[in-house]
Structure 1
């Protein structure tokens, strides 16, 4: 039984990997379920048995990409200060946000939003909304453990994530000639996190 499940999970991942690559390279409208099946090395019927339609597959590919950065695995450790935990979270979030796939999907949703208005909604639900909710849980943990005073966790999560994007995301998004170095990014994040934790100090 376990072997059957593992085969099924393996095929599901093959499909998701193929879908992510094709959506990223070709866009949503130009990618067919048949192409995804061919690239995944499975039958079209297998694709539909795992994902009912292209919208569902698009949403699942976004979720898998977000999950690959382990955003939801950040938890509290009594040995770590909030600033240390937030720095790890910030680095993972920024890496995900500036990845080739995330940038491509963002552009796809903007470009194809008139023809496929559901894309932006799917992207928001499986990407930004899930991440904000997960970070809000972390903020609530800081508050309950009296490490920071955060009465509105979701509000704080939105503040934090938008602060993290900073100049780095803008430069990557607009593909400017100058990009920030790792040292510049780290200095910005360290300074921003210090300001954030001071603002929510007990």
Structure 2
């Protein structure tokens, strides 16, 4: 058999088994459009198949139902966001790295599409708890774990004093300091996204407070 024909056959087999990454990405892109426009309850698999440009049969080859599809979409979005938001150099200056993470985290949290997704997750999780669980693991918990790994490197350098068992908790505390006064008002529709000056004040206070609690004498000096 000619190599080009073999390659084509392999591609078709993968596609039929629901493993073609391009087709999967195409479906997720269409699903994202529909979910953000209509919410979880109003979105249908028919709507999604039309938006993605695939048949409903193809849709069900890749995802067993709407919950499975939305969960996959949330996981993908969270993973992509984490790669950008929590890209940290363990050798970097702790004040600069925390400041950069804080700014990236706030910018990510207040992005309209992320606020919309979070609202959908909150609305759907009551009926489908697995959606909330998968979102928490892929989103908030993944971010805290990535930040905790950076904090661990600074504990080993002697810049921070945090027990190993408390690293993830400390990471969550820093992220909460950055987001709580900013994200919650936007989430409930009580405020617009903050300007750069306000975000900078929030992040600088978060870094300062965090280092006062966990920084060693070397950092506090």
Query: Which interval holds the TM-score relative to the shorter structure?
Result: 0.7 to 0.9
Aligned partner of 1:20 in structure 2 is: 32
- Residue 74 (str. 1) matches residue 74 (str. 2): no
Unaligned runs of 5+ in 1: none
Q: Tell me how far apart the structure 1 counterparts of residues 85 and 111 of structure 2 sit (CA, whole Å).
A: 18
The TM-score with structure 2 as length reference comes to 0.77
Is the CA contact (8 Å cut-off) linking 2:79 and 2:139 kept in structure 1?
Answer: no
- Between stretches 151-160 and 126-135, larger displacement belongs to 126-135
- Between stretches 190-199 and 125-134, larger displacement belongs to 125-134
Over 3 Å counting, the alpha-carbon distance change for 1:197 and 1:62 in structure 2 is same
1:29 match: secondary structure: helix
- Residue 133 (str. 1) matches residue 145 (str. 2): yes
Q: How does 1:56-71 map to 2 (within 5 A)?
A: 56-69=68-81, 70-71=83-84
- Residue 196 (str. 1) matches residue 216 (str. 2): no
Q: Tell me how far apart the structure 2 counterparts of residues 29 and 130 of structure 1 sit (CA, whole Å).
A: 27
Is the CA contact (8 Å cut-off) linking 2:148 and 2:170 kept in structure 1?
Answer: yes
- Residue 101 (str. 1) matches residue 113 (str. 2): yes
Aligned partner of 1:169 in structure 2 is: 183
User: What's the CA shift for 1:144?
Assistant: 2.6
User: What's the CA shift for 1:179?
Assistant: 5.0
> How many pairs align?
201
Is the CA contact (8 Å cut-off) linking 1:63 and 1:127 kept in structure 2?
Answer: yes
Q: Tell me how far apart the structure 2 counterparts of residues 183 and 164 of structure 1 sit (CA, whole Å).
A: 14
User: What's the CA shift for 1:39?
Assistant: 0.8
Q: Tell me how far apart the structure 2 counterparts of residues 17 and 125 of structure 1 sit (CA, whole Å).
A: 22
Q: How does 1:9-48 map to 2 (within 5 A)?
A: 9-48=21-60
RMSD of equivalent CA atoms: 2.7
Q: Tell me how far apart the structure 1 counterparts of residues 126 and 159 of structure 2 sit (CA, whole Å).
A: 45
Is the CA contact (8 Å cut-off) linking 2:49 and 2:56 kept in structure 1?
Answer: yes
Q: Tell me how far apart the structure 2 counterparts of residues 133 and 52 of structure 1 sit (CA, whole Å).
A: 30
Unaligned runs of 5+ in 2: 1-6, 217-221
The TM-score with structure 1 as length reference comes to 0.84
Over 3 Å counting, the alpha-carbon distance change for 1:45 and 1:83 in structure 2 is farther
- Residue 111 (str. 1) matches residue 149 (str. 2): no
Q: Tell me how far apart the structure 2 counterparts of residues 176 and 136 of structure 1 sit (CA, whole Å).
A: 31
Is the CA contact (8 Å cut-off) linking 2:145 and 2:168 kept in structure 1?
Answer: yes
> Structure 1 residue runs of 4+, over 6 Å off?
none
User: What's the CA shift for 1:77?
Assistant: 4.4
Larger radius of gyration: 2
